[in-house]
Structure 1
Amino acid sequence: MSSPKSKTALERLGRDLRAARLSRRVAVADLAVRAGTSASTVARLEKGDPGVGIGTLADVLVALGLIERLADLVDIRKDDLGLALTSERVPQRGRSFATTLRKQERQNDKPKRNEPDTVDPDGVAF
């Protein structure tokens, strides 16, 4: 089920698609053939039906010559909230070479799980 905001946005998208189709003087049936879908699917898209796939929307936009608008739909360069949150992040410090060496030494000192235990002549396992 769609939220009220998404329903409103889809209805507006449908109206805009219908206006774009009509301004180009293209019939629903012709647009459907060009987009590789059915006329009823184009009609559902123009009504804002949330069940129409995004691939179908992309095909209709290609047929109308508006596909670049879909690519710009979520442009992260225009995402004010995302940009603000990114700028607030504190940069992480890099790991120094000495720290990396110490970590490797600690790992080398640990016994390997797949190695068999070493048994001394007295029968004590290490």
Structure 2
Amino acid sequence: MGSPKSKSALERLGHDVRGARLRRGIAVADLAVRAGTSPSTVARLEKGDPGVGIGTLADILVVLGLVDRLADLIDIRKDDLGLALTAERQPRRGRSFATTLRRQKAKGKTAQDDPDVVDPEGASF
């Protein structure tokens, strides 16, 4: 048993497949033959049966000329939540050592004033 939301979405998908088939004037039997499946499977898909395989759906969409829509179902470029979570996990950029030295020189500090900073032109042991 699926969730009520998934059941509703599958029923809507089936309704849309049926509508696309009818607009094209294709009979269930003809669609089934062209998609390589049985008429009862097409009818089950149009009713929103969750047991119809995604491969069968893809074959039917090919016949209807809508297979590109299947590829767009989950477009990760439009996944706002996924993009936000990925951005949150990205490492934060830190300051490089050279940037820290430039900032200190700009403020008038020298390497001798701060014992933790190593002079890049000299050697440190």
Q: How far off its partner does 1:90 sit?
A: 3.5
Q: CA separation in 2, counterparts of 1:90 and 1:84?
A: 10
Aligned AA for 2:57?
A: L
AA at the equivalent of 2:91: P
- 1:73 alignment partner, SS class: coil
C-alpha deviation, 1:92, in angstroms: 7.2
* TM-score under structure 2 length normalisation: 0.72
Q: Percent identity?
A: 82
Distance 1:33 1:90 in 2: 50
Residue identity in the other structure for 1:46: E
Q: Which residue of 1 aligns with 2:67?
A: 67
Matched positions, count: 93
* Residues 1:34 and 2:42 are matched in the alignment: no
What CA distance in whole angstroms lies between the structure 1 residues aligned with 2:61 and 2:90? Answer: 41
Instruction: Give the superposed CA RMSD.
Output: 1.2
2:70 is aligned with 1:58:
no
Counterpart-to-counterpart distance in 2, 1:77 and 1:90: 17
Residues 67-115 of structure 1: CA distance to partner in whole angstroms, max 9, x if unpaired? 000011111001010011111123178xxxxxxxxxxxxxxxxxxxxxx
TM-score (norm 1): 0.71
Q: Determine the C-alpha separation between the residues in 2 that align with 1:45 and 1:34.
A: 15
SS at match of 1:11: helix
| Gap regions ≥5 residues in structure 2 | 94-125
In the alignment, the residues of structure 2 paired with residue 90 and residue 68 of structure 1 have an alpha-carbon distance, to the nearest angstrom, of 32
Aligned partner of 2:51: which letter? G
User: Within 5 Å, which residues of 2 pair with 1:101-112?
Assistant: none
Distance 1:90 1:69 in 2: 31
Deviations 1:21-53 (A, max 9, x none): 000000000000000000000000000000000
Q: Tell me, in whole angstroms, the C-alpha distance in 1 between the residues paired with 2:33 and 2:91.
A: 52
Match of 1:14 in 2: 14
1:89-104 matches, cutoff 5 A: 89-91=89-91
Helix, strand or coil: the match of 1:61?
helix
